[in-house]
Chains A and B, each alone.
Chain A
Amino acid sequence: MNNEEIIVSKIFDRFEFARDKIHVQKRLRIISDPFSREEFEQIIEYLHDELGFKIAHHIVGIDYGEDLGFIYMLGNDEHIIFALKEKVSKENPEINSMTKYYPSLLMHELELVDLFGAIVKDLPDVPSYPLPDGWPKGNHPMRKDWNPAYFDHKTMTYNPPAKEVKEDEKQ
């Protein structure tokens, strides 16, 4: 077994729920399927505390439709990139800050708040990033249903066209 496979097997031995949901994509790449918030937190703690993944490169926010996905790109001394995914519903997009393990994730978590509308608990009181002051609340540009064509630069307002009501919905 190579290093990547050893890491994956250790996770499978520890967490039965993770079995077959984490894959070695190629040399230096391990990619997981999306985990629930609770499952994700157990795995990331294990990766940080026991498997030597002390580096966090960044977080990729992704709009899965009904859900929001957050891909944490973690690294170890062997330069493996572990893409660990977390998925939460858009109705309740609450996650915990992982800055307790990785201080360098602060800016990336702030980005998830502004661009994807994630609610990140336990973030320190720092200025928002990266959207400008005066950006209208509830507008998260990286969500797929947010269309830049409806944003008015002068008034800083988002004005989508009125939703067409189908005939059967009227009744």
Chain B
Amino acid sequence: MSDNSSNRIVIPLGPQHPALKEPGSFTLTLEGEKVVNAVIGIGYNHRGLEKALESRTYIQNLYMIERICGICSHTHSVAYCQAIEEMCGVEIPMRAKYIRVIIAELERLHSHLLWLGVAAHEIGFDTLFMYAWRDREMVLDMLAELCGNRVNYGINTLGGVRRDIDDNDAHEIKKILRVLHNQISYYLELATNEPTLIARLADVGKLNHDDALKFGAVGPVARAAGIANDVRKIEPYAAYDEVPVNVITDDHGDVLGRTLVRVKEMLESISIIRYCLDNLPAGEILAKVPRKVPAGEMISRTEAPRGENIHYINSDGSDIPYRIRVRAPSEANWHGMKHMLEGSFLADVPIAIAAIDPCYSCTDRAIFVNSDNGESRLYDWKGLREYSIKWHRDRGLNIADIQIPMAKNYIQIQRKTND
């Protein structure tokens, strides 16, 4: 056996944007092109959220809980709300449960499309990146129409949801879903038949069934290793006990498998949304929840786009939680990362990292931000807007001259293009 230790070099990857536009550091020891050791450093996005949650009321915390993650904000607010509703013994209206499912599946669609674009970009397939992100805009427009926001939807509240879906909304959503279904079916055909794509993704970032279990992988990472775990089936929440859900699995255990699982899950999400719109129960969308939560503790879980999301809430009987702990899915998927990287080629590292769809903000939920010059400034909305206009004008761009099409017009343009 030869000793190659003298040929080893250590290279730092990150912390600025090692794969995605988020911070994480990877210290890689290479032997030739092969990674023989990886030390992962995260924590750059730690914001002190869990501490902040302990000094605000349950209602105020709704705002903060949604900001754990910009991509999967809804799954966090669902987990939080349903834990408190159960602690208070409140059964929310069925219509509200269905609306929570519709928004959850739209969130899964836009999250998976975002991932598909990022993954395509990491392997140099920028055409697919542009296609996926163009289609994601349709989903974000739907979310904006239904909730008022593209992200951080604010649809959930304690006791149900804040906005209803009318027949016109349902009709518009179904039309857009038809376009999306065609597009996503095309991506599935690509991932199944396109030889270059398959050759680039197969056997990269391997995590087999046993290792996925050992490292506690969740979501599409686990399902791509043949583990059929999905909270929507295991412990149905919201309206998932009434809505048919097929759990998508694959046995590749690599980035190709994760791609196939996510693309197929998007088609499944479209079926779920259609079912919910066709079977949306009539009635109220909100039940009354007391301001103070009875003393006790509750563990609530949801299936986020990235996997199992667990919230622990401990109440001392007041209107402020004693302790909230969030175990986001990315936090679970980091553990297998070292294993995936070691033995892989350096060129595969970015796509292997991206393939768990890591969310650094989710992982580092919980301190304080120093501004660059050590000073803190508080902007009101007007001040922030003026700062933004000045920032762009200093760089030769006058925002007032830009004509932005309205969301609905954009969707019509998209539909014409795809028809």
Contacts and interface: CB of A to CB of B under 8 A. Distances in A.
Task: Categorize the interface residue count of chain A.
Answer: 35 or more
Interface in A1-54: 27-29, 31, 54
Contact of A62 (B41, B216, B314): B314
A161 interface: no
Given A73-B327, A130-B43, 9 more contacts: A27-B235, A57-B308, A58-B327, A62-B322, A104-B216, A107-B335, A126-B39, A142-B50, A151-B368
A60 B54 CA distance: 14
A146 to B, nearest CB: 8
A1 B413 CA distance: 60
Interface string B333-355: 01100000000000000000000
A144 B214 CA distance: 34
B235 A104 contact: no
A153 B376 contact: yes
Interface string A55-76: 1111011110000000101000
A120 interface: no
Interface of A: 27-29, 31, 54-58, 60-63, 71, 73, 79, 81, 83, 102-104, 106-107, 115, 126-127, 129-132, 141-142, 144, 148, 151, 153-154
B150 interface: no
Interface string B228-247: 01000011000000000000
B46 A131 contact: yes
Contact of B216 (A31, A57, A71, A154): A57
Given A104-B215, A107-B334, A115-B366, A60 B42 contact: no
The 9 closest A-B pairs by CB, nearest first: A130-B43, A58-B327, A104-B216, A104-B335, A60-B325, A130-B46, A79-B234, A60-B312, A153-B370
Interface string B39-61: 10111001010111010000000
Contacts of B370: 153-154
Contacts of A58: 310, 325, 327, 331-332
A56 B321 CA distance: 24
Contacts of B215: 103-104
A55 B336 CA distance: 13
Nearest to A61: B325
